[in-house]
Structure 1
Amino acid sequence: MSKETIETLVSELVHEEDWRRMRATAACVAGGPRAVQALVEALRTGTPELKKEVAAMLSRIKDPQAGVALVGLLEDEDEVVRKAGANALEQMAGVLDTDTAAALVALLPKYQEGEARQLMTHLVGAIPTAVIPLCDMLKHPDPSAQVTAALMLDQLLDPRSIDAFIDAMGQPAVQDIAVSTLKKLSAIRERIDETFNALRDVEGASEREEARMSTVIYLLGIGRPSVEILIEYLEDDDWLVREAAADLLGKIADVRAVEPLMRRLERDKDTGVKELAIKALGLIGDARPTQLYLEAIPIRPLRVYAMEALAKIKDVEVLRPHKELFDRLRTDRDGLVAYNAGLIADKLEALGGTDITGQEGNHEDE
């Protein structure tokens, strides 16, 4: 059988024959940048049905190069395609680059109300890199665009917007919003700093653990506006403060925390911090720490947490190459390890274990 191009295989994501769809899926997953380029082109030229499948495939591959093209789907005439684009962007929120965020932010002034406006606002709020183009929009010559950006930044309450709001203080359209937002951001910083300073002063092992839990409860209500500050505290000299910061970041479950928590898991010298980091990553459910989880399985204090985190990964397909390991761990002496290994193995079995090569071989003559 002649070897099809990646463009042909992409078109077969919606083929009526199962084996062709599965072959196309395998080719896209393994195809690297060339496959992403072909998928992006299909977003431009494909049928609505193909665009829908391509968007889902891109959300699975999670290559940020596809972000701008996915934003383009939000203005497609087909509602199903628009929804597929929005779902893909939401699933990729943690890896999308500034160019994608800028393309999305540029749509905000076009949709002042209704469902489309709510969708744009939701997506901008979900993408961490959106803060940068929103800050740039504060300098837009149109006062209404300035207000749009200022109101979004006021909702996000991200410390990265402080300098932009200070620069915008002289702009009449957003001056009041800037003053109000800066006050809120200052209050958040002060509350977190004061609480962590008090935590450092606590002495005694049992007292410190109780204080850490109280700190987490006290600060948890701030939510996402505390994320950037908590990431800073992951580098604190006091292990208890690092533990509290990791615990909070897991409970808030913002994707911005994934890579900083991965660094703690990989490099921190304190086992307690590693435990809280791996628990936090598990709560977020991102697939990026998969290899770190696998490496932690042989480490006795971390193995249960590693298995629990693996079982919570949302993109189960990334675990397929390790199915043999999970099958083996189903009989582990540790009941929690065995239980979570069983959960993972069952999910993989439910998704199916099709051998693409075998499927192709059965259709060589077609």
Structure 2
Amino acid sequence: MSKSVEELIEDLNDQDEFVVEAAAGELEMMGEESVDALMSALSHRKKNIRLNAAKILGAVSNPKSIDALILTLRDNNKLVRREASTALSRMGQIAVDPLIEILDDEDWRVRGAAAWALGNLKDDAAIEPLEALLEDESGYVRAGALNAINSIKS
């Protein structure tokens, strides 16, 4: 008997890494069927569930999850934020405009994560908005912007 989506999501926090990998693989194979539950899991109280949900959403690459992943860039855990940024960069061109839109967010972590993700997407449309971040107060944001610009131009 196979597990429900909710049971698989709870397995993402299991102590046994094989249980976590099996649950992640099954959720990824479900594709569209698991997306809504995974988006909800991005706000779960357990860090490992949020982190793995972001990772799976990146693998599934459903555009429906872009807004939820952008909200996850505000997570209090840097590993979860990094995974959400990576997931967004896996979405391809459809994520470029939403990422550009948040480059002026008040939270430096969001600006920085968006810059790093845009560097992975390598879209020329991001260069000008990224150049504005080269004067940002945050070193993380400046580094992300510089890295992204160099990545796009190479």
TM bracket (short chain): 0.5 to 0.7
Q: Percent identity?
A: 20
Deviation string for 1:102-131 (max 9, x for gaps)? Answer: 43333222248x665444333334436793
Q: CA deviation at 1:50?
A: 1.0
1:120 to 114, 117, 126: 114
- Asked if structure 2 preserves the Cα contact closer than 8 Å seen for 1:14 and 1:49, the reply is yes
- In the alignment, what sits opposite 2:25? 26
1:118–1:5 distance in 2 versus 1, CA, 3 Å: closer
SS in 2 for 1:16: coil
Q: CA deviation at 1:75?
A: 0.9
State the TM-score, normalized to the length of structure 2: 0.67
Deviation string for 1:57-110 (max 9, x for gaps)? Answer: 2223333332221111111122222122123223x053x52xx43433332222
1:103 aligns with 2:98: yes
- In the alignment, what sits opposite 2:129? 152
* Cα distance in 1 for residues equivalent to 2:109 and 2:124: 20
- Asked if structure 2 preserves the Cα contact closer than 8 Å seen for 1:59 and 1:89, the reply is yes
Matches within 5 A, 1:279-294: none
Matches within 5 A, 1:75-114: 75-90=74-89, 92-94=90-92, 96-97=93-94, 100-111=95-106
* Cα distance in 2 for residues equivalent to 1:45 and 1:130: 35
Deviation string for 1:147-198 (max 9, x for gaps)? Answer: xxx942768xxxxxxxxxxxxxxxxxxxxxxxxxxxxxxxxxxxxxxxxxxx
* Cα distance in 2 for residues equivalent to 1:47 and 1:30: 23
The gaps in structure 2 that reach 5 residues or longer are 133-150
Deviation string for 1:259-316 (max 9, x for gaps)? Answer: xxxxxxxxxxxxxxxxxxxxxxxxxxxxxxxxxxxxxxxxxxxxxxxxxxxxxxxxxx
Q: CA deviation at 1:18?
A: 4.4
* Cα distance in 1 for residues equivalent to 2:79 and 2:30: 26
SS in 1 for 2:76: coil
SS in 1 for 2:75: coil
Q: Which amino acid letter does the alignment assign opposite residue 55 of structure 1?
A: A
- Asked if structure 2 preserves the Cα contact closer than 8 Å seen for 1:105 and 1:130, the reply is no
- Asked if structure 1 preserves the Cα contact closer than 8 Å seen for 2:104 and 2:111, the reply is no
- In the alignment, what sits opposite 1:60? 59
Of structures 1 and 2, the one scoring higher in RCO (CA 8 A, sep 6+) is 2
The gaps in structure 1 that reach 5 residues or longer are 135-149, 156-222, 226-251, 253-366
1:32–1:120 distance in 2 versus 1, CA, 3 Å: closer
1:14–1:7 distance in 2 versus 1, CA, 3 Å: same
* Cα distance in 2 for residues equivalent to 1:66 and 1:151: 26
SS in 2 for 1:44: coil
* Cα distance in 2 for residues equivalent to 1:127 and 1:93: 9
SS in 2 for 1:14: coil
Deviation string for 1:6-64 (max 9, x for gaps)? Answer: 12112212212345324312311210201122211111334222111122222233333
Q: Which amino acid letter does the alignment assign opposite residue 65 of structure 1?
A: K
* Cα distance in 1 for residues equivalent to 2:58 and 2:75: 18
1:71 aligns with 2:70: yes
Q: Which amino acid letter does the alignment assign opposite residue 110 of structure 1?
A: D
* Cα distance in 2 for residues equivalent to 1:16 and 1:10: 13
* Cα distance in 2 for residues equivalent to 1:36 and 1:123: 21
Q: Which has the larger radius of gyration?
A: 1
